[in-house]
Amino acid sequence: MAITKRSSHQNHLDLARQITGIALERGMARGDHLPEQSFSEACGVSRTPIRSAFRLLESQDILEWRQEQGYFLALDTPDAITAALGALESAEDSLVTRILADRAERRIGEIQSVSALARRYEVSRSTVLFSLKVLSKDGIVTQLPGRAWAFHPMIDSPRSAEESFEMRLQLEPLALRSLGFTLDSKRAGLLRNQMNEFLELEETRASGAGFRRLDIGFHELVAEGSGNRFVRSALMAHHRLRHASREGQTIPAFRMQQAMEEHLEILDALERKQFDLAADQMTVHLRRSSIRRPAAANRGISPLVRGAGA
Amino acid sequence: MNVSPTIALFPEASFGAALNCVGIAQELRRQGARPVFICHPGFTGIFAEYGFMEYHLTAATAPSAPSSERHWEEFLNTHLPNFNLSPSEQIKSYVVPTWDAIVDSAIAVEDSLRDILAQIRPDVVLLDNVIMFPAIANAGPPWVRVVSCAETEIPDPAVPPYLSGLDPADTAACAAFRKAYVAATRRTHRRYNAFRRKCGLPALPGEIFLENSAHLNLLLAPAGVRYDRANPLPADRFVYLEGCVRRESPFDLPHFPAETGPVIYTSFGSLGALDTALIQRLIAAFEAIPARFIVNAGGYIDSYHRVPDNVHLGDWFPQPSVVARSDLFIHHGGNNSFCEALFHGVPSLIMPYCWDGHDNAQRAAQSRVGKWVNRTGWTPESLREDIASLLADSEMRARLCGISARMRRQPGPEKAADAILGLQRRALRLTRPKGTGNAPL
């Protein structure tokens, strides 16, 4: 999952952790009331996020909601609370992943409501809402007027993959040529080692998932190094979408290894500070990667080829 | 100095032949040869992704023809209804227009092919097609015929007619089909023979568009489903490959919300993916079947908007690796698909729509390695029953295990590469002046 997703998610969980920590410090026990105002002052935030964090804790049965009385502690030992918070984190991470996977698989439609998702995944509305906010932060969903949420286009078909390459062919070389491009050398070194290990694999062991992880990692490194903030931001958002989508699942082993070698050559050029050369190499690399198979073929008829990337 | 022999592979513009040749080329490369591909427009980059050099044909006619997408739209509108017809009804509606188009395409690339062969100067040419290109016969080096269709492509009294889907025991029906086929294709066949004569090649007898090679012919037909021919093919020129399954990247099973049930792979090839209505109907039926379905939607994946939890859609799969992980393969009877199912010991549920799919469906049912289901003649209930009975058929499973073991003992690509390089060495001995050095490889 993308780093920003974790950060966004972490904010909500951090507040929930803070609240439970304060409750334990105060020696509160099962059944004790948690006043909103008091926790708002103790945490230094307004009552709105406190209310959200209370709902999050309620979804995990750490707190209990009583009509017209407010929230009460439902657990009374630090271990039980820590375990419940841990479960909450993994449940929400898992829900984000499940929603994304189901959308990528076309199992859920483009427009969704919180209630429909809560029913489908058998979780509380607040858990769904938090997951949608995480996805929203990454530009994968947008809240529509009213209660509906809309998914943005994903990279889940030959046509969308082609559009993705068209965009990257413009922006990635631009990122490399931007004034002030800075390579994160520590991360570059780590990626280099991982890519070399991939190249050592036998053809039959080079998996698409392993390739994809390294491929996106390499292109994120390039995006993050860009001196142009707008290029960086557009590319980072697009790579998060690539993470979330299913594009590039099945590539012959030869091409996966060739692409890794191209990544390494680009890294070589960057380490020599030959940014124009790296940008040209990136263009060649992306053009090679963007070649699409014909959509249909049959004897006696020219194969069905769509778009410029073919 | 030894020089790697150059083997030019020329598959027809279909994924079956193209990927079959990839399997052979991978093995040729492993054995030290230099395989290169001659490819039709539209296949640019397909072979390069597997690490092979590509040479691209250009058609002689100006591209005043409709755009690729428009052309296919017309093809769809014309032929989609034909796929629901019986093999004998398809002769006039689908087979004859297809042969006409094949002859046109052979004529259109003749000059370009001649130039490319002169540029490559191959030691051996491999032709995986259903028609002869005179430039190959006239090029000089020995050429190899690859029959990647069903073995019915090479006629024999004991083998049912090509594209008929008939049982050879039904001699009256076979005779009637053959007669109708020859009559319907006569005009196209004459046109093709005129082209051959113009290029200096002799005319071919009725119904034959591609002669056997005098040097080497490779057939995929595995022993487990092979016909006993009345006139056995001479072993010195005809090699059975026991399928020709290529190496592909490993396939990780996708995540399904319900991680239980057998894995069933469905693919009708890129042409069958055009029939989105059939695939949508199948997907709706799959929803009620307790299994996990992996469905190849080809280039039309955007046509699907509501996919059940037990279905995973994709636009392309490394098919041999997927079949290897499947319990059942629902396909169109394409020969590569059929051979991959046999190679991995997986039963086939075949819904053929054209060409040799009918022949393989008939053979699969007759050899009891699968079931032939009519494209339009099924209901969700009958499909569910067919799937359940194929999955539960332990006798079929045992038979398939035996076939698979035999095929794995003699991998087709290895056998093909051995035969091709053997031919290359023989040809070299014949052309090499006495007293020269050792033959390559």
3-class DSSP state of B420: helix
B416 and B390 in a single domain? The answer is no
B316 touches chain A (CB under 8 A): yes
Q: Give this complex's ipTM.
A: 0.79
In a domain, A279, yes or no: yes
Residue type, B340: E
Q: Do A133 and A145 touch, CB atoms closer than 8 A? A: no
What are φ and ψ of residue A166, in 5° steps? -55, -45
Contacts of A208 in chain B (CB under 8 A): 249-252
CATH code of residue B48? 3.40.50.2000
Tell me the pLDDT tens digit for each residue of A214-225: 999 999 999 999
In a domain, A48, yes or no: yes
The answer for residues whose C-beta is within 8 angstroms of residue A251's C-beta and 6 or more apart is: A208, A211, A259, B49, B249
B270 touches chain A (CB under 8 A): yes
Tell me the pLDDT tens digit for each residue of B15-50: 889 999 999 999 999 999 999 999 987 888 889 999
B90 touches chain A (CB under 8 A): no
CATH code of residue A273? 1.20.120.530
Contacts of A102 in chain B (CB under 8 A): 257
Last residue of a domain, which of A115, A132, A151? Answer: A151
B13 touches chain A (CB under 8 A): yes
- Min Cα separation A78/chain B (Å): 33
Whether residue B68 and residue A101 make contact (CB cut-off 8 A), yes or no, is: no
- Min Cα separation A281/chain B (Å): 18
Measured between alpha carbons, how far is B122 from B36 in angstroms, rounded to an integer? 9
Burial label for A3, CB within 10 Å (0-12, 13-18, 19+), is: exposed
Between chain A and chain B, the number of residue pairs with CB atoms below 8 A apart is: 157
Q: Do A95 and A131 touch, CB atoms closer than 8 A? A: yes
3-class DSSP state of B255: coil
A24 and A141 in a single domain? The answer is yes
Determine the residue of chain A that is closest to B46 in CA distance: A293
**pLDDT band, residue A15 (cuts 50/70/90):** confident
A29 and A102 in a single domain? The answer is yes
Contacts of A253 in chain B (CB under 8 A): 247-249
The confidence score (pLDDT) of residue B436 equals 43
B421 and B377 in a single domain? The answer is no
The per-residue b/e assignment along A251-290, b for 16 or more CB within 10 angstroms, e otherwise, is: bbbbbbbbbbebbbbbbebbeeeebebbbbbbbebbeebb
Measured between alpha carbons, how far is B27 from B7 in angstroms, rounded to an integer? 12
Q: Do B374 and B318 touch, CB atoms closer than 8 A? A: no
In a domain, A242, yes or no: yes
B302 and B404 in a single domain? The answer is yes
Determine the residue of chain B that is closest to A153 in CA distance: B302
In a domain, B257, yes or no: no
**pLDDT band, residue B61 (cuts 50/70/90):** low
Whether residue B299 and residue A294 make contact (CB cut-off 8 A), yes or no, is: yes
How many domains is chain A partitioned into structurally?
2
Residue B333 CB-half CA count within 13 A:
26
DSSP string, A12-30: HHHHHHHHHHHHHHTT--T
**pLDDT band, residue B437 (cuts 50/70/90):** very low
Determine the residue of chain A that is closest to B316 in CA distance: A250
Could you list the residue range(s) of the whole structural domain that residue A230 is in? 158-289
Measured between alpha carbons, how far is B85 from B293 in angstroms, rounded to an integer? 27
Last residue of a domain, which of A134, A151, A168? Answer: A151
In a domain, A298, yes or no: no
Whether residue B249 and residue A252 make contact (CB cut-off 8 A), yes or no, is: yes
Last residue of a domain, which of A111, A132, A151? Answer: A151
Give residues 126 to 165 of A whose Cβ lies within 8 Å of B.
156-159
B401 and B415 in a single domain? The answer is no
Whether residue B40 and residue A295 make contact (CB cut-off 8 A), yes or no, is: no
In a domain, A299, yes or no: no
β-bridge pairing B53-56 and B34-39: parallel
Whether residue A293 and residue B75 make contact (CB cut-off 8 A), yes or no, is: no
A206 phi-psi bin (left φ>0, alpha ψ -120 to 50, beta other)? beta
A200 and A185 in a single domain? The answer is yes
Query: Considering the entire predicted model, what is its pTM?
Result: 0.83
B297 touches chain A (CB under 8 A): no
Q: Which two tokens stand for residue B401?
A: 């295990």
B148 and B209 in a single domain? The answer is yes
A267 and A218 in a single domain? The answer is yes
How many domains is chain B partitioned into structurally?
2
- The more confidently predicted of residues A177 and B274 is A177
Q: What is the mean pLDDT of residues A279-294?
A: 91
Measured between alpha carbons, how far is B272 from A253 in angstroms, rounded to an integer? 26
A76 and A19 in a single domain? The answer is yes
Tell me the pLDDT tens digit for each residue of A114-142: 999 999 999 888 889 988 988 888 788 99
Determine the residue of chain A that is closest to B68 in CA distance: A304
- The more confidently predicted of residues A78 and B77 is B77
A104 and A176 in a single domain? The answer is no
Contacts of A308 in chain B (CB under 8 A): none
Q: Which two tokens stand for residue A269?
A: 């050029």
Determine the residue of chain B that is closest to A211 in CA distance: B249
Q: What count of other Cβ atoms lies within 10 Å of the Cβ of residue B416?
A: 26
B25 and B168 in a single domain? The answer is yes
A134 and A199 in a single domain? The answer is no
In a domain, B425, yes or no: yes
Give residues 342 to 361 of B whose Cβ lies within 8 Å of A.
355
Q: What count of other Cβ atoms lies within 10 Å of the Cβ of residue B179?
A: 11
β-bridge pairing A33-34 and B216-219: unpaired
The confidence score (pLDDT) of residue A166 equals 96
The confidence score (pLDDT) of residue A309 equals 38
User: Which among B423, B415, B39 is positioned nearest to B243, based on CA atoms?
Assistant: B415
- Nearest by CB: B305 against A106, A205, A207: A106
- Nearest by CB: B313 against A105, A159, A302: A105
**pLDDT band, residue A3 (cuts 50/70/90):** very low
B50 touches chain A (CB under 8 A): yes
The confidence score (pLDDT) of residue A5 equals 42
Sign of CA dihedral A160, A166, A167, A169: positive
- Min Cα separation B43/chain A (Å): 7
Sign of CA dihedral A287, A292, A297, A303: negative
Tell me the pLDDT tens digit for each residue of A42-61: 777 778 778 888 888 887 78
Measured between alpha carbons, how far is B36 from B54 in angstroms, rounded to an integer? 6
Answer yes or no: is pLDDT of B366 > 70.
yes
Q: What is the mean pLDDT of residues A268-281?
A: 97
Measured between alpha carbons, how far is B26 from B37 in angstroms, rounded to an integer? 12
A122 touches chain B (CB under 8 A): no
Q: What is the mean pLDDT of residues B413-432?
A: 90
Residue A27 CB-half CA count within 13 A:
0
B401 and B421 in a single domain? The answer is no
B17 and B134 in a single domain? The answer is yes
In a domain, A176, yes or no: yes
In sequence order, which ranges of B238-294 are alpha helices (DSSP H)?
269-272, 276-286
The gap between the terminal CA atoms of chain B, to the nearest Å, is 11
- Min Cα separation A218/chain B (Å): 20
- Min Cα separation A13/chain B (Å): 26
CATH code of residue A84? 1.10.10.10
For the ranges A34-48, A285-299, B208-222, the maximum mean pLDDT occurs at B208-222
Sign of CA dihedral A73, A79, A83, A88: positive
Q: What is the mean pLDDT of residues B210-221?
A: 96
A83-97, B72-86, B102-116, B304-318: least confident range: A83-97
In sequence order, which ranges of chain A are alpha helices (DSSP H)?
3-25, 36-43, 47-59, 78-104, 114-121, 125-137, 158-177, 185-200, 208-225, 229-244, 253-271, 275-289
Could you list the residue range(s) of the whole structural domain that residue B66 is in? 6-245+411-431
Whether residue B309 and residue A208 make contact (CB cut-off 8 A), yes or no, is: no
Contacts of B130 in chain A (CB under 8 A): 299
Whether residue B318 and residue A250 make contact (CB cut-off 8 A), yes or no, is: yes
- The more confidently predicted of residues A65 and B38 is B38
Q: Specify the DSSP class assigned to residue A273.
A: T
Tell me the pLDDT tens digit for each residue of A217-272: 999 999 999 999 999 999 998 998 888 786 555 788 899 999 999 999 999 999 99
B423 and B396 in a single domain? The answer is no
Q: What count of other Cβ atoms lies within 10 Å of the Cβ of residue B12?
A: 25
B158 and B281 in a single domain? The answer is no
Measured between alpha carbons, how far is A221 from A224 in angstroms, rounded to an integer? 5
B49 and B164 in a single domain? The answer is yes
B227 and B359 in a single domain? The answer is no
